[in-house]
Each structure stands twice: as C-alpha cells, then as structure tokens.
Structure 1
Amino acid sequence: MKKIKTIIFLFMIFAFLAACNGKNEEDHSEHQAEKNIYYTCSMDPQVKEDKPGKCPICHMDLTPMKKDNSASNEIALSDQQIKLGNISVRTISETESSLVENYTGVLAVDQERMKTISARAMGRIEKLYFKTEGDYIQKNQAVYQLYSEDIAIAKQDYFAAYQQLSMPGDFGKNAKSMLNAAKQKLLFYGLSNSLIESIKTNSKISPYTTFYSTYSGYVSEITATEGSYVMEGAAVIKLVNLNSLWLETQVNVNYAKSLKIGQSAKLSFADYPNNEITAKISFINPEINPDSRLLLIRMEVPNPNLLLKPGMQAVARLTQSNLKGVFIPIDAVIREENATYIWVEKSHGIFENVMVETGAESNGMIEIKSALDPAKKVVITGAYAINSEYKFRKGSDPMAGMDM
C-alpha cells in the first residue's frame, strides 16, 4: 500500500512539471509572436509602435502589421499583392533600337548672314534712303548720303592730280603717283571705280557722297538718323539674309552624346502643318547648362522661298538609328532625390532594388547603362507599387544611407 502511494505521488509531480513546461513554451511562443508584430497608422506609415493605441498624428486606431525580416533593400510580396499591384517582370537583354526625340525651338536669324553697312568716314548723315525696318535692299541700291570733309579733300586731291598729268617734266611724273595715292584713299573710303572716274570730269567737287549697298537683304536695324554725325566705322543700317535661318533647341545630355555636326533633323511647324523641312545640325555647344543639365544645339534651316519667319515655333525630330543598348520602360525606373534605381525579382515574390545609371530617353523607353544580372528579371510594370509598399512597411527610402 505504501508503494502504491509513492507511485501516485511521483506521477502527480511529473504531471505538474509537464504542465508548467507546456505553459512556458506557450508563453514563449506568444512572446515571439508579439515580437514579430508592430502597430502603425494607415494614414501615417512612419508611425511605428510596439503596442496597440492611437496614432499621435491623426488619432486613428493603430493597425497591427507583421514585421518584414527581409534584407534592407528587399521586400516580400504575396501572389495577391503582385496581382493587385499589376507587377510584371521580364528578362532584359541588349537590343538594337532607333531613338526618336522631339524638341521645340524658335526660328531665329542666321547671325552669320547678318551684314552691317557702316560709315566709311567721319561726317554727317545727310540722307537715308531706307527708314523702315523690314525694307528689302538690293545690292548696289543707294543707302545713305554722307557729308564728309575728309572725303571731299581726297576727291580734290584726286582731281588736282589728274589735272597735273598733262604738265611737262617732273610735274607730270609726280602727278601720276599722286593720282594713284588719291585713288587708293577714295577706294578705302568706299567709293566705286565708276564714281572715282566721274570726278575727273567734274570741276566742282561736292562734299556729299552717296553710298551703295554691297549686299542684298532685309533691314533689321537702323542705327543712324538723318542729320546725325557718325564716326568712321559706325553702323548705319544692318541687313539680314533670310534665305537661311537658325533653329536653336536644348537636348538631354545623354541623348546629345551621339549627335554629330551635319546630322539631319526633320522640322515641322504649327503654322504650316503640312510642310516638313530637313535641317542639319551646325553647332553643338560644348558647355552644359548647369541648372537644366541640357545642351544647346543649333540647326541650319533652308528658307529659299522665305515662307518661314524668325520667331516662328518649330518642332525638331531627331532620329538615332541602330543604337545598341539595354532599354526598359521609363515607368520601371524610380527617380528619387538622391538616386535612380529599379526593382528586380530575386526569386518568386522577393524583390530587391538596384541602383542604375540611365542614358537616352525616347518613345517611352529609357536606356540602362549599368550592368544588370542577366539571371534576374526586371520589374517592368508596378515598380511604383512595390516602392510604395516598401516605404509603408519599412518607412524609409530604399536607397537611404547608400553612398551615391
């Protein structure tokens, strides 16, 4: 009987110890479960608390969330989340593509076709034959009349030397050299040969001289007025030839790297929607605009029928054919203040972000210049959905803390 009591006592002790151990394990598992849960606000995901309560910002009830124990640059998504986020992936490889870019610019005067008619000597503008900007001046048309004592003296020297040519002896010989010297001076003042020859037959030398245009073009600026005094070399009228114009526009630096002088571009105009003109790149600015990171290029635009006008807006379409590179949709690239990156599928449902360097953009595609792991698939659609979920769970920029 004593033996039976002893056995019953030992059994009770064993049962008690087993119950305590089970309770400890249950308490431990509950504690572990609590460690994997945090509480956040759906309106303010930056709020994270260890226990239930109210959001300190909007005072809504905090929502329990399971902690994401994946790596700092990774996120795990369920099949349902992938479907709802319209997330799709694709293996990316180098392809040959043609990039087309449209740039807007304004037609301007070709500065190399601008000419200035200036005063050939100091004097007074006695008469202007053209007084309105936009007037067309043909070559050899009279432009202005100048009163100049310097030119009058040179005319008188030329006439006197001509009169002495018929004199005998040294007078005649010296007169010939004096005549040549006086003629060279008149040519320097801009007088034509025919006008100089006419001096020989005019006994009365006039201080007034009419000057003629040596160019054809439209008056773009009148800098002198009748009755005003001008210095030698001062501008009187400026002309511009509109048979060729300039179109200046600014292009993306990455795109401009492969542009070349002489490359063709197609131009279209809102004022003439049915006309398309071929222009050529004539200048690529070696300096980049530090604020916009854009590069100025200039195109020569033929305008033989003068249909196009300076100030007219144009769209230049630049095409680069047979470009080799890795291209993905622009929406697949996340651009933050400090970094540019994409999301790639590490394994099913596991996505990681990869910082990349981008290149040219065109037709909704962007060039990826960084080397990519060919074994991994790039997220083509839904990249922003992954990014939003990442920030909601981890409350930070995926590239935060990375050395750019």
Structure 2
Amino acid sequence: MKIQLNKPFFITVALLIATATLAHYSAYWRMQDTGEGGKATAKKEPLYWVAPMDPNYKRDKPGKSPMGMDLIPVYEEAGGDEEIGTVTISPDVVNNLGVRTAPVTRGQMDVSVNTVGYVQYDEDRLIHIHPRVEGWVEKLYVKASGDPVQKGASLYALYSPTLVNAQEELLLALKRNNATLIEAAKERLASLQVPKSEINRLRKSGKVSQTITVTAPQSGVLDNLMAREGMFVKPGMEIMAIGQLEHIWVIGEVFERQASLVQVGDQVQMQLGYSPGREWQGQVDYVYPSLNTKTRTAQIRVHFHNPDGYLKPGMFAQMRIETAPMDDTLLIPRQALIRTGSQSRVVLAKGEGRFKSVAVQVGNINDEQAEIILGLDEGDRIVTSAQFLIDSESSKTSDFRRMNHGSDDKAETMAPTSVWVGARLKSLMPEHRMLTLAHDAIDDWQWPAMTMNFTAAKNVDLQGLQSDMTLHVEITREGDNNYVISQIHRPDTVTDDMPMADGESSISHDVLEMDHNQHQSMTHDAAVLEL
C-alpha cells in the first residue's frame, strides 16, 4: 500500500525535531549551570569547625565543644593571602557589640611625663663642717641631727695642741712687735678655722685659750652629726653638715625613652600622695648627663621654694613634667591601642563589615592620644571599642590560615634542629655530664669553629671518653639557646643512626635493590590474588 505524504505532515515532523533539539540543549545548559553552581557551592563549604570559646579545639565536621556549645564553621576567605586575618561581621553583630571607629589624624600632640621624685637638700646651700687640725672634741653644743641652728651659734669646742702653738706664735710676734710675723701668725690662725673674734680676744687679753669654739656659718638644720664629746678628730673627717629647708631639690627619675623629651625650663607640677589638694610649682633646673645603669633612668633636678618647711628631705613625690608639644604627628585615640608583651596592634576598619588586626609601631603616648610611627596612614579608620574581641578573632583566623596554607619559604629554609659535626674533646665531667668540645664550623647554624661547653643527653654513653679524643657528635637544639649532645660516634664504633659518607652508600645498594624487587614482587602477587 502506498502512503501519500503531504506538506503539513513534513511541517509537523520538522517542528517535533526542532523542539527535541531545543529541549536537549536547554537541559545541557541547565546541567552546566548546575555544575558551576555546585562548584561555587563547594567553594563555600566550611574548611573546619572550631569551638566558640576555644579556637584551639578544631574538628572536620559539625558537633559540640567540650563546653556543650555548637561548633562554629570557618570558611575560606576570598582574596588569597591579602585577606589573611580579615574577619567579616554582620551589621547587627557590629551594632550589638557597640563597635565604634575613629579616623587616624595628623596634628599637634601635647606630651607630659609622669614620674616620681625624691626630696633632698639644696646642695648649693648645704655646708659640711670638717676640722682643720687634729684634736679632741671637749664640748658639743648640738646633740642630734635635725636640730635647728642659727648662724654664729656655737657648734663644738676643740682642744688641739696645734691651735695652742699657733696662738703662742701670735703672742710671741706681738712681743717682738714684728708686723710681718704678726700678720703671718694671724693668717695661720685664720687658716686653722679660728674665728676672727677669738683672734681679737687673744690680742687683747694675751692669754692662750686651750679650746677653740667653732660656730655655724649659716642658719639651717643639722644633718649627718658624726661627732660626740671626747672623740678624737683629724683633718678630713666629716663632723656634721648644715642644710636649709627654705630651698629644696627634688630629683626625678625619667625613663630612658622619655629622657630626650625633658629640657631645662620645663614646667613641673608636684604632689604628695599623703597631702591631697596641695600642689607645688617649679621648673626643671638641670638634666643630668648620664643614666643610672641599674634602673636605666635619667635624673632631673627641680628647684622648689619651701618657705613653711613642709617638704622634708627623703619625702616621696609624684611629678608631672610639661614638655614641648610635638607638631605634625600621626595620632590615634589611646583606647584604640592594643598592647601586648611582644607588639602593639590596632583593629583597622576596612568597610562593609570587614576588620583586620594590624601591627603598629608606637611612639609617645599621653592621656588621650598615641603617636603612630609605622603601620597606619592618615585617614584610616580604626576601632575604638570592642576591638579586643575583633582582634582575638582576627588573630585566630590569621593563625588558622597560616596553619592550612602549606609550607612557606621560611619553613622551607628553616635551620635543622640537629647537626653532626666533628669535634675534639677538651675536658669531661662525667658526674655532671658536661663536655667541653672544640668543634668544627657548622654551616647550617652559621657557627664558626669554636670551643663550647655542652650537656650530654641521658641516653649518651660517656664511658671510655678521654681528653684530646676526636669524635663525631650530634648537637641538638632544645629551645632557643639550649644545645645538648644527643649522640656520640667514636672512631672505633659504627652506629646505624649516624649519617654515612658518600662512599659508604654503595655498601647497602644491593640490599636496597633486593628489598625493592621483593616488595614489587609481593605487591604484584597480592594484586593477582585480589583479582
């Protein structure tokens, strides 16, 4: 039977073929888009899960922390290494944390130095009393340190054969009426600290005094009384000192890093902790040129008027020194600074909820601002509140990224923890497991050839070692600066764990090849059995 095909039939068939073709390619495109979306979704899968309160607790799947809290997923940050340490916080969390930011500005910084000081006598008005001749203290008119004295008051009476002879020389010169001898005798008495009034009395009375009374050269208070009645004294001995309380010095201690800020003439406010509400005004009188080697501080001297005598030598005071302001300084709010034992950091606000903790180099700091030397630019925005939480999260993210980023150049070039080196035994103390070795140069540690003391590990046998013996030792680094001898190869023994020279590698080559062939044969037989 013959089937007649008309034009509508062909049109219908063509439409069906076209529809099937479009459906095929549409499905293909959808599958391709789904695959790309799956890849994108795969990229956003968590890298690992960590405990909210303990970033060191890390797992490869969801679960509970030791404290019963849900683990938090950690995702791979976009942007590669440039985003390491950057954390993203949603706007509602930023609002709940109370995050506030402030700009990094450039301007003038008022710097003041807060320090402590010690009250002492004004040494320009402190007079020391020393005898000019040897003798005995017959009478002491002052009894204790701290007693007030007036100018011209008697201090002590001294009997001295030298003074008696000097008086007799003046009387002899007067009897001879020799002007030259008289003047010479008077000058000698004056040089021996005999008061002028005593010399005039001697000329008028013509009688020698067995004791000479020494008077106070100024008014003040007695300090360092070292003499007592009946004591034998001689030139060079300090008997006492007289200081004044109307003018006193305060010696301040300034840290080494702040010493360059303090200049002569800077204004100083001083307070005493046990005298609230009272303040003394003064200025820096002198900056000492050297530092105290024990405290690493520089000393400054401040002069204060003390008309009522309230300030006493030995008092402890708090001082505030107003130094010259610093111009054109990069400044941040002080509360934004995070200071640790090893570095200083701030949290940089990068916009769109992204934050990153960055290290900065800090200069001077006052009550409200901190000087930034390196690490920030003018116009940057930094976090001034809740920065400790963000810094902790940023540091945690940065540390995890470093752990999962693979070995970097520093890890590849890290020096080995142990090395073998030739050495000669200089001395040995077996009871303390101490060795003195003259070892060769160690290139891996950049050590030159030198003689050092080492401690031997507990598993190292020291029996049979003698001085001048040539050894091959393994030095192991434990910690930063602790090096121990972990192994010793002696000339007459061979150990399996000692590294072999190039010529020795051929000894075990056949054995290694045999083991390798046996391993391949065993692997092949196992594969056949599995099949």
User: Is 2:269–2:319's contact at 8 Å kept on the other side of the alignment?
Assistant: yes
- Describe the superposition over 1:119-165 as per-residue Cα deviations: whole angstroms up to 9, x where unpaired: 12101111110012221111111111111011111111121111112
Q: Distance in 1 between matches of 2:36 and 2:233?
A: 106
| 1:351 paired residue number | 355
Q: Distance in 1 between matches of 2:53 and 2:376?
A: 36
| 1:188 paired residue number | 191
Q: How big is the shift at 1:305?
A: 2.9
Q: In the alignment, which of 203, 216, 220 is matched to residue 217 of structure 1? A: 220
Q: Distance in 2 between matches of 1:349 and 1:292?
A: 46
User: Is 1:345–1:352's contact at 8 Å kept on the other side of the alignment?
Assistant: yes
User: Is 2:119–2:250's contact at 8 Å kept on the other side of the alignment?
Assistant: yes
Q: Distance in 2 between matches of 1:240 and 1:92?
A: 53
Q: Distance in 2 between matches of 1:351 and 1:131?
A: 73
| 1:137 paired residue number | 149
**Is 1:63 aligned to 2:71, yes or no?**
yes
| 1:109 paired residue number | 121
Q: Secondary structure at the match of 1:200?
A: helix
**Is 1:309 aligned to 2:319, yes or no?**
no
User: Is 2:334–2:367's contact at 8 Å kept on the other side of the alignment?
Assistant: no
User: Is 1:332–1:382's contact at 8 Å kept on the other side of the alignment?
Assistant: no
| 2:61 paired residue number | 51
Q: Secondary structure at the match of 1:235?
A: coil
Q: 1:72 to 1:131 in 2, by over 3 A?
A: same
Q: Secondary structure at the match of 1:83?
A: helix
- Describe the superposition over 1:274-328 as per-residue Cα deviations: whole angstroms up to 9, x where unpaired: 5433211123344556787654433111112323333444443333465432332
Q: How big is the shift at 1:40?
A: 1.8
| 1:168 paired residue number | none
Q: Distance in 2 between matches of 1:160 and 1:257?
A: 65
Q: Distance in 1 between matches of 2:353 and 2:294?
A: 40
Q: Distance in 1 between matches of 2:355 and 2:315?
A: 50
Q: Distance in 2 between matches of 1:292 and 1:211?
A: 42
Q: In the alignment, which of 365, 369, 388 is matched to residue 361 of structure 1? A: 365
Q: 1:60 to 1:289 in 2, by over 3 A?
A: farther
- Describe the superposition over 1:212-246 as per-residue Cα deviations: whole angstroms up to 9, x where unpaired: 12122101221011001011131111111111122
Residue type of the alignment partner of 1:176: A
Q: Distance in 2 between matches of 1:49 and 1:302?
A: 71
Greater CA deviation, 194-203 or 123-132? 194-203
Q: In the alignment, which of 87, 95, 101 is matched to residue 75 of structure 1? A: 87
Q: 1:43 to 1:74 in 2, by over 3 A?
A: closer
- Describe the superposition over 1:30-69 as per-residue Cα deviations: whole angstroms up to 9, x where unpaired: 76555x33122233211223235676xx475771412342
Q: Distance in 2 between matches of 1:272 and 1:151?
A: 51
**Is 1:298 aligned to 2:308, yes or no?**
no
Aligned length: 376
Q: In the alignment, which of 256, 261, 276 is matched to residue 258 of structure 1? A: 261
Q: Secondary structure at the match of 2:133?
A: coil
Q: For structure 2, which runs of at least 5 residues remain unmatched after alignment?
A: 1-16, 403-409, 411-531
| 1:163 paired residue number | 175
- Describe the superposition over 1:170-213 as per-residue Cα deviations: whole angstroms up to 9, x where unpaired: xxxxx433333322221110112332232233444233111112
User: Is 1:252–1:360's contact at 8 Å kept on the other side of the alignment?
Assistant: no
Q: 1:396 to 1:242 in 2, by over 3 A?
A: farther
| 2:229 paired residue number | 226
Q: Distance in 1 between matches of 2:121 and 2:251?
A: 11
**Structure 1-normalised TM-score?**
0.79
Q: Distance in 2 between matches of 1:342 and 1:297?
A: 34
| 1:4 paired residue number | none
Q: Secondary structure at the match of 1:145?
A: strand
- Describe the superposition over 1:312-364 as per-residue Cα deviations: whole angstroms up to 9, x where unpaired: 44443333465432332222111122211222223322223333222332233
Q: Distance in 1 between matches of 2:295 and 2:353?
A: 39
User: Is 1:144–1:212's contact at 8 Å kept on the other side of the alignment?
Assistant: yes
Q: Distance in 2 between matches of 1:192 and 1:100?
A: 51
Q: Secondary structure at the match of 2:98?
A: coil
| 2:395 paired residue number | 391
- Describe the superposition over 1:53-107 as per-residue Cα deviations: whole angstroms up to 9, x where unpaired: 676xx47577141234262343332223322332222322212344455544443
Q: 1:362 to 1:21 in 2, by over 3 A?
A: closer
Percent of aligned pairs with the same amino acid:
25
Q: Secondary structure at the match of 2:105?
A: coil
Residue type of the alignment partner of 2:171: F
Q: Distance in 1 between matches of 2:373 and 2:36?
A: 54
Q: Distance in 1 between matches of 2:290 and 2:253?
A: 12
| 2:50 paired residue number | 40
Greater CA deviation, 131-140 or 59-68? 59-68
| 2:210 paired residue number | 207
- Describe the superposition over 1:351-380 as per-residue Cα deviations: whole angstroms up to 9, x where unpaired: 233332223322332222337323532223
Q: Which has the larger radius of gyration?
A: 2
Residue type of the alignment partner of 1:328: I
Q: In the alignment, which of 345, 361, 378 is matched to residue 382 of structure 2? A: 378
Residue type of the alignment partner of 2:73: M
